[in-house]
Amino acid sequence: MRTLLACMTGFGLDLIFGDPYWLYHPIRLIGHLISFLEKPLRSVAGKSPKKQIVAGGIVWILVILISTGIPCLMLWAAEKIHPAVSFLLECFWCYQILAARSLSVESKKVYHALKTQDVEGARKAVSMIVGRDTKSLTEEGIAKAAVETVAENTSDGVTAPLMFLMLGGAPLGFLYKAVNTMDSMLGYKNEKNLYFGRVAAKMDDVFNYLPSRVSAVLMIAAAFLTGMDAKKAAQIYKRDRRKHASPNSAQTESVCAGALQVQLAGDAWYFGVLHKKETIGDPIRPVEAEDIKRAGRLMYVTAVLTLLFAGMIRFWYFW
């Protein structure tokens, strides 16, 4: 019951306040830990692919153990002081781990820039939430990039961590964020990280496999509840959910494309290199700035449905 209440409290705080930018975020500490461990282990591994894979695996294991172990110890210590202290700490961590409000706020910066015809401002705003090159993006390209980010991060930043929080409280929430952060930092298929980041990339696929699919199904329900095209969302999901190099990334993106009746994904530039990608959805109409707000609504309703779904499972099976 305590975990359920902590998750619900954290979820509510995130919806109301978003990330406390004035406070040092624990995910940044995980990032620093990854960088700290990466440098010496890369040096030891040298250029040997096998050694790089092993070294990357060691980084992954150490980061997981530390990122999960420290919260467990801190909650235990807080419990010794008073159960209320431990509960409040866990509520606060649940709040920090979730990112629905911040995802909405950052995407709306892109929306407002586009609505005022500030294309350069929109490019700058979208560059803060996507990994692709944005300097040559058109207005439609900017809107599409923002919609794609909201759609994909509905799972990565909101519903998946919420499921892990419901399962094991803040420690499992930090475990998931550590997995996600390592993939973001090391999981690129480039010369530097092809082998060293392989474990991080593969484990991110494993940890997101079920949450991304549950999120997609709940997003179809959210499309129905928000008056969007749920039938098209289900159709495009069935057809295009595998159209991505990652087995998970196109799950919610395909649902969003169908619900909005637009086409997402396709070729994109990353670090000056053109990456050929399949498109997701049908180009029934062009992507527009308003679609950013629509994707945000879809994200919020999906998040609430996830809270209810995961909360009921927690209540019935882990009471």
Q: From first to last of its 319 residues, what are the pLDDT tens digits of the chain?
A: 889 999 999 999 999 998 877 777 889 999 999 999 999 999 998 889 999 999 999 999 999 999 999 999 999 999 999 999 999 999 999 999 999 999 999 999 999 999 999 999 999 999 998 877 878 889 999 999 999 999 999 999 999 999 999 999 999 999 999 999 999 999 887 788 889 999 999 999 999 999 999 999 999 999 999 999 999 999 999 999 998 888 998 999 999 999 999 999 887 777 667 778 889 999 999 999 999 999 999 999 999 999 999 999 888 876 5
Residue 297: per-residue pLDDT? 98
pTM, entire model: 0.92
Max CA pair span of the chain:
59
SS3 label, residue 274: strand
The domain in which residue 112 lies consists of 2-317
**275, HSE (Cβ side, Cα atoms, 13 Å):** 18
Handedness of CA 121, 124, 127, 129 (dihedral sign): negative
268-270 and 279-280: which strand pairing? unpaired
User: What is the rounded CA–CA span in Å between residue 28 and residue 237?
Assistant: 34
- What's the token pair of residue 142? 């900017």
All residues at 6 or more sequence positions from 156 whose CB lies less than 8 Å from its CB, including other chains: 180, 208
pLDDT on residue 265 = 86
Closest C-alpha to 59, from 184, 174, 196:
196
Residue 160, token pair as written in the block: 């998946």
Domain count along the chain: 1
- Residue 156: name the closest of 133, 127, 138, 179 by CA: 179
> pLDDT value at position 88?
97
What is the per-residue pLDDT for 259? 98
pLDDT of residue 318: 66
Rg, C-alpha atoms of the chain: 20
Angle at 146 between CA 311 and CA 135, to 5 degrees: 150
